[in-house]
Amino acid sequence: MTPAPAQPVALVTGAGRGIGREIALALAREGCHVAVAARTAAQVAATAAAVGGLGVKAIPLVLDVTDEGAVARGVAAIAASLGPVDVLVNNAGVAESAPFAKTDAALWERHLRVNATGPYLVARAVLPAMLERGWGRVINVASLAGLVGAPYVTAYTASKHALVGLTRALAAEVAGRGVTVNAICPGFAATDIVWNGARNIAAQTGKSFEEAVETLARLNPGGRLIEPAEIAAVAAKLLRDDATNGDAIVLDGTA
């Protein structure tokens, strides 16, 4: 088996804030050089600066994961600056709620494009070279909604089910070749998505923001929000794990 690189090169999408930022920092602490990718220049610059402060190389990359040409150019820029991508974390995503009757085609397609097609495009851009080198990690940040159904998030749930399916199929295809593909499936997490959702709930129900947050937290089996650092810790563990492949790792607040 090909040994892991001494300092793997990681690409983390959706890394400007929240879960992606925490994962970028966690991988840097594990010794990875990190390409910090997201659509907002100021956010990726700030995360890259924080990553670089941990003693590894970091580059900011403004990237729309749904644009195949932009993905190809971004991967080439990473290779020129840091080296080929050894670790891919597909974290970029979108989450919007609506009753099914109000889930129009644009909302539906937006979720599938960002949450499923985006990871497909980025993985397709980096996976062949991982297989050639005999070592690599693909970590997809999915959701509990990728494993069970939930009301008012039909598009999101379908897209995350697709991402879990992509994970399992790809893991089966690369098994035994030095590359692992896994998904992390957190419940509601302490991120802007939940804060925005809580503000919407408060506006529609008259609850306070704090009460709305608590409502969302109780939807997790553990009755609490998942911290981004918990998700990042799982990603860091998968970095050095040669055995786990095709798993959908649940973080539901019970541990």
For the stretch 195-226, pLDDT in tens is: 887 887 788 788 899 988 898 888 899 999 99
User: Among 134, 168, 138, 127, which residue's Cα sits nearest to residue 13?
Assistant: 138
Three-state DSSP class for residue 192: helix
Decide if pLDDT at 192 tops 90. no
- Run of H or E including 60: strand 58-62
**pLDDT at residue 122 in the model:** 98
CA distances 210 to 6, 61, 118, 155, Å, are: 45, 35, 33, 27
What is the per-residue pLDDT across 36-69, written as a single tens digit (0 to 9) for each? 999 999 999 999 999 999 999 999 999 999 999 9
Domain ranges of the chain: 9-187+226-242, 190-225
Q: Which of residues 138 and 97 earns the better pLDDT score? A: 138
Q: What is the pTM of this model?
A: 0.95
Q: pLDDT for 107-132, tens place per residue?
A: 999 999 999 999 999 999 999 999 99
Domain 9-187+226-242 carries which CATH code? 3.40.50.720
* Helix axis angle, 18-29 to 228-239, nearest 10°: 40
Give the residue, 83 or 99, on which the prediction is more confident. Answer: 83
Asked if 156 is an active-site residue, the reply is yes
Q: Which of 156, 157, 181, 220 is catalytic?
A: 156
Q: Concatenate the DSSP letters of all residues of 136-186 into one string.
A: EEEEEE--GGGTS--TTBHHHHHHHHHHHHHHHHHHHHHTTTTEEEEEEEE
Average per-residue pLDDT for the chain: 95
DSSP 13-42: TT-SSHHHHHHHHHHHHTT-EEEEEES-HH
Residue 85 backbone phi and psi in degrees, to 5:
-75, 125
Say which residue the tokens 């709930």 belong to.
201
Rounded-to-integer distance, Cα 95 and Cα 193, Å? 7
**Would you state the pLDDT for residue 198?**
80
- H or E element that contains 51: helix 41-52
Decide which of 244 and 214 is more confident. Answer: 244
Backbone dihedral region of 206: left (phi > 0), alpha (psi from -120 to 50 degrees) or beta? left
